[in-house]
């Protein structure tokens, strides 16, 4: 009887160890784990580097005299041609002003405008100034917004893909939440951000487990950033294996365990008789 119990105990112990091994070690997945709670941290970093090539801008002109704004707004003037200048050439059906590779837009009446590197507020002020100073609208109020703010998130996240956000302020945590967060295999200590601005490409790294992430220039994502979450070492080691191997092992262990239990109870019932 003792031999039967010891054999069963030994087998169950081995089965448990196999199951634990299949699960791997518990990863530290806590975000910003070293930051004290209930504390105020001043924000740093920029969430915009100004207008860039291929930005799609929404520009709206307002006035106390609405008739004066008709030719300046795409909502009221779908095909605006004035002084031989087309409002938004090459973007038929697109609402907005696409910034060219050279950093220009073509605005009705005012013509070609250099906007590369300007903030939205600066561009709005420039258009207002020209509309008033050139006598087009005496009380012009201009709104400028970015319409195609997007970043790409790749790697070990739940739903990799491209994010199109409203506005131009997006943090790394907001972006990750929009793709379903990192998987259990995603490395949280070295998330890569690839950024290209003004013809310069930079590669940054974020440690999501540290409070220093808030001070990183990559905490606020910029237009067209690419975020890559690298898999941890366990996933890398198992990348070349059949993804169902551990399932097969776990199922096999469960079946063998049930057979041993049935055999044990059969022997026990025979001894009781």
Q: Has residue 51 been placed in a domain?
A: no
Rg (C-alpha) for the chain, rounded Å, is 31
CB of 221 within 8 A of CB of 153?
no
Residue 242: per-residue pLDDT? 55
Distance separating alpha carbons of residues 61 and 141, to the nearest angstrom: 6
- Do residues 126 and 88 both lie within one domain? yes
Residue 259: per-residue pLDDT? 78
Q: Has residue 25 been placed in a domain?
A: no
Residue 89: per-residue pLDDT? 42
The length of the chain is 273
**Quick one: which of 237, 186, 160, 144 has its CA closest to 31?**
186
Residue 110: per-residue pLDDT? 94
* 63: its two tokens: 């006035």
Distance separating alpha carbons of residues 181 and 196, to the nearest angstrom: 24
Output the domain CATH number for residue 153: 3.10.560.10
- Do residues 93 and 65 both lie within one domain? yes
**Quick one: which of 162, 152, 198, 172 has its CA closest to 55?**
198
- Do residues 195 and 134 both lie within one domain? no
CB of 46 within 8 A of CB of 217?
yes
Q: Is the pTM of this model over 0.75?
A: no
Output the domain CATH number for residue 97: 3.30.1950.10
* Block residue for tokens 């799609």: 56
Q: Has residue 42 been placed in a domain?
A: no
Mean pLDDT, the chain cut into blocks of 10 residues (273 residues total):
49 49 52 69 66 90 93 67 40 73 93 93 96 95 92 95 85 94 91 87 93 92 93 66 65 79 73 67
Residue 248: per-residue pLDDT? 67
Q: Has residue 49 been placed in a domain?
A: no
- 138 is in which domain, residue-wise? 56-146
- Do residues 113 and 155 both lie within one domain? no
- Do residues 139 and 60 both lie within one domain? yes
- Do residues 105 and 186 both lie within one domain? no
State which of 146, 174, 194 marks the end of a domain.
146
């Amino acid at each position: 009887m003792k031999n039967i119990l010891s054999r069963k105990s030994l087998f169950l112990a081995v089965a448990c160890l196999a199951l634990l091994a299949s699960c791997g070690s518990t990863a530290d997945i806590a975000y910003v784990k070293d930051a004290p709670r209930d504390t105020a941290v001043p924000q740093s970093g920029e969430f915009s580097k100004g207008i860039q090539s291929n930005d799609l801008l929404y520009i709206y002109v307002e006035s106390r005299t609405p008739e004066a704004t008709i030719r300046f707004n795409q909502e009221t003037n779908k095909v605006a041609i004035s002084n031989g200048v087309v409002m938004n050439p090459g973007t038929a059906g697109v609402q907005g002003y696409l910034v060219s590779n050279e950093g220009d837009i073509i605005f009705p009446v005012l013509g070609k405008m250099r906007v590369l590197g300007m903030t939205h507020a600066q561009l709005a002020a420039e258009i207002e100034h020209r509309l008033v100073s050139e006598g087009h609208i005496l009380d012009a109020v201009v709104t400028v917004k970015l319409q195609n703010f997007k970043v790409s998130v790749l790697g070990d996240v739940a739903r990799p893909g491209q994010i199109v956000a409203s506005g131009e302020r997006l943090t790394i945590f907001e972006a990750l939440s929009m793709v379903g967060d990192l998987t259990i295999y995603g490395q949280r200590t070295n998330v890569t951000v690839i950024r290209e601005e003004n013809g310069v490409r930079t590669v940054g790294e974020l440690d999501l487990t540290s409070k220093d992430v808030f001070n990183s220039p990559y905490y606020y994502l910029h237009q067209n950033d690419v975020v890559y979450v690298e898999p941890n070492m366990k996933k890398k080691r198992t990348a070349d294996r059949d993804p169902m191997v551990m399932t097969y092992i776990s199922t096999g262990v469960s079946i063998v365990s049930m057979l041993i239990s049935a055999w044990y109870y059969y022997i026990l019932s025979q001894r009781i008789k």
